[in-house]
């Protein structure tokens, strides 16, 4: 039984980790712009939102069902957030450099809190993430509590491990980038976020 739960959690974690979405580009962007700590703050927010959805979907079923009634509003809110972030990153994000022309990272506590919250809300307002956890929790309703705990713990651990790897990899890349290249990456990342936001909006409106 435990082996089956571990395998299921592993499969779900890998599926969620390799899925292409706005979060992966944001992890890379924050890691490049704000260093490892910024990247960790962002994935901390993402992980916290995953845990929130898991708890709500398992222990507050009625609340989760009520939230799903507003899935269009939630989806549109998430889309608006993606587009707004994309516009900011594309057109307004500035790269600070020192006298030698190298990137300068100046971060205070409130900056990390803002990055954490951006990761939390970007993930929790994503209908795809909500749908993933809804299907997962529904498929596990017939299983014992211990079985579900193992599945969720394994899944979240795998996702967090992959996110940490992405942060570390982006940090290695950042060391070899010039401020100009980082600026270009930011613009590409911003356009991708805008694209995801528009595509998400289009998909939601098409279902109405």
pTM (2 d.p.): 0.73
How many domains would you assign to the chain? 1
Determine the pLDDT at residue 102: 47
In angstroms, the CA 164 to CA 2 distance is 26
Instruction: Mark 57-94 as b/e (b = at least 16 C-beta within 10 Å).
Output: bbeeeeebeebeeeeeebbbebbebbbebbbebbeebe
Residues 103-145: tens digit of each pLDDT: 555 667 788 898 899 889 888 877 777 778 877 887 777 778 8
Taking residues 176-193, what's their average pLDDT? 74
Determine the pLDDT at residue 183: 72
Q: Which residue has the tokens 């989806």?
A: 75
Domain extent at residue 169 = 2-207
Contact 85, 118 (CB under 8 A): yes
The two tokens of residue 31 are 């890691």
Mean pLDDT value across the chain = 77
Residues 28-60: tens digit of each pLDDT: 878 887 888 888 999 999 999 999 988 887 776
In angstroms, the CA 139 to CA 200 distance is 25
Determine the pLDDT at residue 23: 78
């Amino acid at each position: 039984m435990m082996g089956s739960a571990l395998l299921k959690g592993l499969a779900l974690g890998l599926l969620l980790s390799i899925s292409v979405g706005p979060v992966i580009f944001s992890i890379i962007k924050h890691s490049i712009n704000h260093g490892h700590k910024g990247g960790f703050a962002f994935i901390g927010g993402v992980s916290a939102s995953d845990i929130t959805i898991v708890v709500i979907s398992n222990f507050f079923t009625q609340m989760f069902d009520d939230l799903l009634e507003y899935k269009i509003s939630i989806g549109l809110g998430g889309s608006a957030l993606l587009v707004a972030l994309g516009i900011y990153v594309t057109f307004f994000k500035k790269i600070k450099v020192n006298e030698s022309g190298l990137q300068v990272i100046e971060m205070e506590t409130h900056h990390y809190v803002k990055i954490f919250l951006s990761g939390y809300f970007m993930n929790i307002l994503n209908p795809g993430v909500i749908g993933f956890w809804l299907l997962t929790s529904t498929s596990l309703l017939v299983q014992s509590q211990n079985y579900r705990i193992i599945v969720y713990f394994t899944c979240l651990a795998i996702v967090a491990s992959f996110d940490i790897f992405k942060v570390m990899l982006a940090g290695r890349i950042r060391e070899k980038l010039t401020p100009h290249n980082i600026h270009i990456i930011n613009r590409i990342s911003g356009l991708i976020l805008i694209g995801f936001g528009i595509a998400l909006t289009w998909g939601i409106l098409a279902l109405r």
